[in-house]
Chain A
Amino acid sequence: MTETGEMTYRRVHRASPELLFDCMTTPEHLTCFWGPAGTTTPLDGIVVDLRPGGTFETTMVGDDGGTYTMKATYAEVRRPERLVWIEPGVEGGMKTTITFRDLGDGRTEVVTHQTNVPAAYLSAEARAGFATSLDRFDAYLAGLNREDT
């Protein structure tokens, strides 16, 4: 697997790390929010075998009845601070790492980190000048920086 880049998404929720970890790893929770938008993820389409090497599958059903199954394998299961899975079928292996950080005030920061997402944005982000002439990319990176700081 060649790691060519990464993507990070951060979000703070008013809940404990334990609850958030359970939400991400329990079919009864996952069915309520896994999505993505315009799709549902029925309970019977979710497989969670919560151990390193175990299966994580979600079948998402679109408004038009079409389905898409995400097939992943857990690589690391450390309740409540860290969860890692790998989707071997996506671009030579997409690794998703979710970390849960207790902020100590009833809130938890959830950081989703995907690697083997192509390198462009990271390296481009480091070279601030790059995006200036290329409007959409620039606008995109600006949004990214705002969210991440």
Chain B
Amino acid sequence: MIGLTVVAALLATLPLLLILTLLLKQGASSLNVAFFTAMPKPVGEVGGGMANAMLGTVMLIGVASAIGLPFGIGAGLYLAEHKAEPLAAVVRFLSDVLNGLPSIVVGIFAWQFLVRPVKHFSALAGGIALGVMMIPLVTRTTEEMVRLVPDALREAALALGFSRWRTSLTVVLRTALSGIVTGALVAVARIAGETAPLLFTAFGNQFWSTSLTQPVSALPLQIFTYAISPYDEWHALAWAGALVLLALVLVVSLIAKFVTRPRFGSGSD
């Protein structure tokens, strides 16, 4: 029985190893400085990079975080600190449903309310769509982390004359902070690779654009566009882009792991 679980555990990590091997084999050769600094070249020309897509991804993550973090952390704090209230049960359920919502649906939602009325695609619409996806992820991890804060600490703060919200904001939130930061980073890693919600919101852009009201490219969008194209040099760039995306997720996950490493041991240090 134990042997079977070990095999299952190894098999569970196998896909990541296979993907990494494949991407390294196919994408590493196209990965050079120009990939990060140059703009896409027209069809037929060799070289070029994805600088615009990287900028787009950074912009989209920025907008998404501006929405996902405050709402997600606030909601998670509410759920953890008022766990018995009926409203909390409703919010928790709806948050889980939102978390399970197919990302394309979120994209359609953003298109309907943010793209259609202004009649053009925009980075803002894409970022908001990603932000909506972030909220339930951040809510859930925040709630779990805040619940881990011992009641004894809350009581200590209250007994020192702290109001309830001040206790939440200082003692509780600060104690849970490293866990919340990890949750936020994992959520960023998760949405950074989303393609579907961007298809008809951020849309993609072959040019350098820093405007939130204009369409922008993003790494996953560019990969998608290049991968379905009939050109070999674009395929190569798509592989490289996929490798960069994977590396990004790995790095963010590693940072998250670094942030949560235990700092306050029970022994003297």
- Does chain A bind chain B? no
